[in-house]
Amino acid sequence: MTDPPELSPAAQAAILAWYELNGRSLPFRSTRDPYAILVSEAMAQQTQAARAGEAWSRFMARFPTVETLADARPADVLRAWQGLGYNRRAFALWRAARVIVDEHRGRVPSDLAALEALPGVGPYTARAVAAIAFGMPVGALDTNVRRVLGRIVLGEPAPIARPELQHLADTAVPRDRAGEWTHAVMDVGALVCRPSRPDCQVCPARPWCRYAAVSAADGRSVATSPRRSRREPPFPSTSRWLRGRILDRLRAAPDAAWVELDGPVGAHDDGAVRTAARALASEGLIELDGSDDRVLRARLPVA
């Protein structure tokens, strides 16, 4: 039976040294407050780090403590979330704040199981908060980390079972610098070890990287891998676009006012608008006025 793969200590040290000189300066990296870090991790999912950082600063000014967020109305939270997309994350974060206040005396739990039990918190977010806020030597596995560690230790492509991958991520974390490491490996993935056109020439882990070694042996330029087309922004014909436009209409309305959604919205006819509105209501993101079935009225939830 072979030993599970692990990252070279020399590669770990090189990545940390690179981060000290090249790491991104983001507003939420200046805090060790577990609540503030939980907010930043909720925002940074599927959102560019710079945009998440700007939104985080505004959100924290509006809700500086977990108690202020828990006491807020969901309508206020959804308004503060505008521009980030994936609005279910805002609602889940608000619910998580209420659980933290009600069940954890207003303190974000440090235990992984308790973190994962919070609404909207999965394995990645739980480990990121544990590492950054509490210094726990656990590896937060997102797409960037999978790619960086997979390329360095295993090459690409490199099929590996989830438990082995988690072991690799956990053992890569320096016990005394868990938070810095979490940021460092993220930045290597975002800035250097990109999905396409990885800049292996400047990668701090290149001497220990199997991906770079195989690329060089094959005679391919590791810095000019084939470029993949960038993902297009949400297209107006999608349900996600429609949901966002409905929420934006309600955000712009006076507080607690009902808004008539008299479709169509963009390319979406009245039936599609009604379907999207009912889905948003089922998720708790909006309220529907049931006084007249002939007219679709909605508002942000007020309680």
Phi, psi (deg, nearest 5) at residue 112: -60, -45
C-beta of residue 126 within 8 angstroms of C-beta of residue 112: yes
Angle at Cα 57 formed by Cα 183 and Cα 143, nearest 5°?
30
The answer to whether the bond into 159 is cis (omega within 30° of 0) is no
User: What is the C-alpha separation between 89 and 121, in angstroms, rounded?
Assistant: 9
Indicate the SS3 state at residue 91. Answer: helix
The answer to whether the bond into 264 is cis (omega within 30° of 0) is yes
User: What is the C-alpha separation between 6 and 169, in angstroms, rounded?
Assistant: 8
Helix (H), strand (E) at residue 298 = strand 297-299
User: What is the C-alpha separation between 141 and 144, in angstroms, rounded?
Assistant: 8
Token pair, residue 168, equals 């690799």
Residue of 6, 20, 41, 156 marked active site: 41
C-beta of residue 140 within 8 angstroms of C-beta of residue 169: yes
Query: Which CA distances in Å does 106 have to 56, 60, 134, 203?
Result: 20, 16, 16, 41
41 is catalytic: yes
User: What is the C-alpha separation between 37 and 31, in angstroms, rounded?
Assistant: 7
User: What is the C-alpha separation between 198 and 212, in angstroms, rounded?
Assistant: 10
User: What is the C-alpha separation between 69 and 71, in angstroms, rounded?
Assistant: 5
Token pair, residue 92, equals 């889940």
User: Which residues have a catalytic role annotated?
Assistant: 41
